[in-house]
A and B are shown apart, each in its own frame.
Chain A
Amino acid sequence: MIIVRCISWMRKHYSLVRMSFLAVLALLLIGDLWVPRHHVHFLGDEIPGFWALFGLGACALIIIGSKWLGHAWLFRPEDYYEKEGNK
C-alpha cells in the first residue's frame, strides 16, 4: 500500500523530513520580504514574519495557557461524573 510505504519511508528518514520542514519555514520567512501588501489592516501586516511569530506565540499560548487552566482548576478524573452520579 503506497500510503503505508510513504509513511514508513518518512519515518526512516526522519532527520531529512525535519530538515526540509525547517527549510520551508526559513523560505517562508525570507519570501515574506518580497510579498506585496495590498490590504494593510494594522501594524502587524507590514512587518515581515509577523504572522510566523504570531503562529508560534499562539501555539505556545494556547497549549501552555490551557494546560495550566486544566491543572489548576478544570481537570477531574475520567469517571468523575459516573462515580458521583451513581451515588
Chain B
Amino acid sequence: MADTFFFHPALLFFAALPAVPLLKGIWRQALVLLVPLVAFTLVLGFSPGNHGVIDVQGLHLVFGRVDKLAIIFANVFTLMSIIGAVYGLHIKEPWQQVASMGYVGSALGCVFAGDFLTLFLFWEGLMVFSTALVFLRRTERSTRAGYRYFLVHVTGGLMLLCGIFLHYHQTGSIAFVRFHQDTAGLAEYLILAGFLLNAAVPPLHAWLPDAYGSATVVGSVFMCAYTTKTAVYALIRSFPGFDILIALGVVMALYGVVYAVLENDARRLLSYHIISQVGYMVTGVGIGTALALNGACAHAYAHILYKSLLFMGVGGVVHVTGHSKFSELGGLWKYMPYTLVFTLIGGLSISAFPLFSGFVTKSMVISGAWESHLNWAALGLTLAAAGTFLHTGLKVPYFIWFWRDKPSFEPPKKEAPLNMLIAMAIAAYYCVLIGVNPSGLYKLLPFDATYHPYSSQHVMESMQILLFTMLGFFLLIKKLYPEPKVGLDLDWFYRRGAVVFMAFCRNVLRMLDDKVIKNLHKTFALPLLRGFARVANWNDQRVVDGVVDNSAQAVLSLGDHMRVFMQPGILSRYIARTLTVLAGIALLALYLR
C-alpha cells in the first residue's frame, strides 16, 4: 500500500479554498497552516508512479505523474507554502490567503501533470490566482500592473496552447515529455515560448518586476517562488539540451544584474535578481548534462527559499514603513535589526557564500558549464554572481538598514510582526542547513551525478570573488547612491505602446471617422441607399404586389369554377361520381393483389 499511495496535494488546497473566507480568526489561521503542513507530509511519502489517469474522448490525461523530478519540486513548493502561510498569518481579510492557496495548488497541479492539457489547465490557474495577488494590493498602480500582468500571461498561455494543439495535430500525443532539438518544429518552439515567458526570459521578462514590485507584501513572497520555478520545472521536463537556452540563460543572468544597478525600488531590484537567478537554471537546462540539470533543480530549490527570504525581509520593511525605495529608506538597523539579520542571510545565500545554500547549488550549474567546455557561459555566470552579491548581498541591506542615520520619514517604532519574523527564521534555517549540509538536498536530485562543493579551490575562488566585489562596492559606493529614477525596460513597448495606441484611436481614428467616413457616408452611402430604397419600392409595388394580387384573383376564379363543377346540385351526377370512384378503388385493389 505504502508505495502505491497517492493523494494529489493540489486537491487539498483547492478543497480548503472555499472554507477560508467562511472561517474567522484562529480557525482560519489553523486551516491555512494545516493544509500546507499536510501537503508537505504527503509529498514526503510519495514514490514514483502514475496516478489519476483519465481517458476523455481518446485523450490520455494524467493528473498524478510522480517521479523524482516532480517530487523535488513538489517538496520545495509545499515547504514554501508553509513558510508563506506563516508569513501571511496576520492578514485579517481572507482573500490573499484564498488566492495564495489557489496559486500553490495550481503550481502543484503543474508539477504532477503528465500531459500538456492538464499542465495548461493548472498553468492558467497560476496566472489567475497570481493576478489576484497583484490586484489585492488595491492601489491604482497595482491595478494597472495587474491588468498588464494578466494580458502578458494570457498571451503566453495562448502561445502554449497553440503549441500544444499543433503538437497534438502532428504527433497525436499530448504527453508532457522530453522534446529533442533535432526534431523540434514550430509546435515545440511555441510551447517553449510559452514556458520562456513564464520563466521571464528576456525579451519576455518585463512583466516580472512590474508585477512583483506592485503586488501585496505577502503576494510577492508567494509569487517569487512559484511562477518562474514552475516554468523552470517545465523546461527541465521538456527542453533539456536545447542550445538556445544556454545563450538565453547567460544573457538573462547578466541582464538582471545590469537592471538591478539602475533600480531604486527594493522589491523591483529583487525581481530583477529573480531574472538573473533563473538565468542560471535556464543555462543549466540548456547545457543538459546530468550535472547541469541537477544544478538547475538544486538551484531552483535553494532559490525559492532564499529569494522568498529576501522578499519577506524587504516585505517586512514595506509592511512596517510603507516605503520600498532606497532613496527614502536608510538607517533602519536600530529599528528593525532582526529583519536585517534574516535579509542578510538571504543575501549571503543568493550570493553563494560558503556555508549558505547558494554556494552548493549555483556552483553546480557553473561547474556543469565548465565541464561541457562552455567557458564563456561559465565566465558570464561567474560575472553575474559577482553582480548578485553586489546588489542583493550589499546594496539591499546597505541602503535599507545603513547609509544614513535615519530614513527620510518618521522611523518605525516596531519590528516586523512576529509571524513574519518566524517565517523568515524558518527560511533562514533552511538556507543555512542546505549550505552546511548539502547532502540532504543532493539526495533529492533526480539525475545521476555527484558533486562536491567544498573543495579548497572552490571555497578560495568564491571567497576571492565575493570579498573583492565587496571591496569594489565600498570603493565605488558614491556611484551607487540611489537615484529616484526608473530604467526603461521592454515593458516600454506595451506601456508606451498602449498610450500610442490610445492616441492613435483618439486622434487618427476619430479624425478619419469625422472627416472621411462621415463625408463618404453623405456623398456615397446615402444616395446609394436611397437608390436601393427606390428600387425596392418599385419592386414591391409592381412585382410583389402584382404577383400577390394576381395570384389572389386566380385563386378566387379557380374556386368559382371548382364550386360550379363540384357542387352542381344534381343527385344523379353525385351518385354517378361516387360509383365511379368506388369502381376505381375496387379495380385498383384487384390489380394490386
Which residues on A are within 8 Å of B, measured CB to CB?
A: 1, 3-4, 7, 21, 24-25, 28-29, 31-32, 35-39, 41-42, 45, 49, 51-56, 58-67, 69-70, 73-78, 80-82, 84-85, 87
Contact = CB atoms under 8 A, between A and B. Distances in A.
A49 B382 CA distance: 15
Contacts of A58: 382-383, 386-387, 465, 469, 472
Interface stretch (B22-30, B482-490, B539-547): B482-490
Contact of B485 (A41, A49, A70): A70
Interface string B481-507: 001111111000001101100000000
B469 A59 contact: yes
Contacts of A76: 485-488
A82 B375 contact: no
Given A35-B456, A62-B257, A55 B337 contact: no
Contacts of A84: 496, 499
Contacts of A69: 258, 262
Contacts of A25: 467-468, 471
B467 A66 contact: no
Q: Which secondary structure dominates where chain A touches chain B?
A: helix
10 contacts: A7-B337, A45-B461, A51-B462, A54-B382, A54-B386, A63-B390, A65-B258, A66-B262, A74-B488, A87-B499
Contacts, number: 156
A36 B457 contact: yes
Given A3-B340, A59-B390, A77-B485, A39 B469 contact: no
A21 B212 CA distance: 35
A83 to B, nearest CB: 10
A78 B465 contact: no
B338 A3 contact: yes
Contacts of B476: 59-60, 63-64
Contacts of A21: 467, 470-471
Interface string B183-225: 0000000000000000000000000000000000000000000
A80 B457 contact: no
Given A25-B468, A28-B463, A55-B472, A78 B144 contact: no
Nearest to A6: B337
A64 B370 CA distance: 28
Contact of A82 (B141, B334, B464, B496): B141
B289 interface: no
Given A3-B338, A70-B487, A63 B261 contact: yes
Interface in B440-492: 455-457, 460-473, 476, 479-480, 483-489
Nearest 8 interchain pairs by C-beta: A59-B472, A66-B261, A55-B468, A58-B386, A55-B465, A3-B337, A52-B464, A51-B464
Which of B341, B469, B476 is the most central at the interface, judged by chain A CB atoms within 10 Å of its CB? B469
Contact of A63 (B457, B462, B468, B472): B472
Contacts of B463: 28
Nearest to B383: A58
B46 interface: no
Q: Which residue, B455, B457, B470, B496, has most C-beta atoms of chain A within 10 A? A: B457
A73 B480 CA distance: 17
Contact of B386 (A28, A62, A78): A62
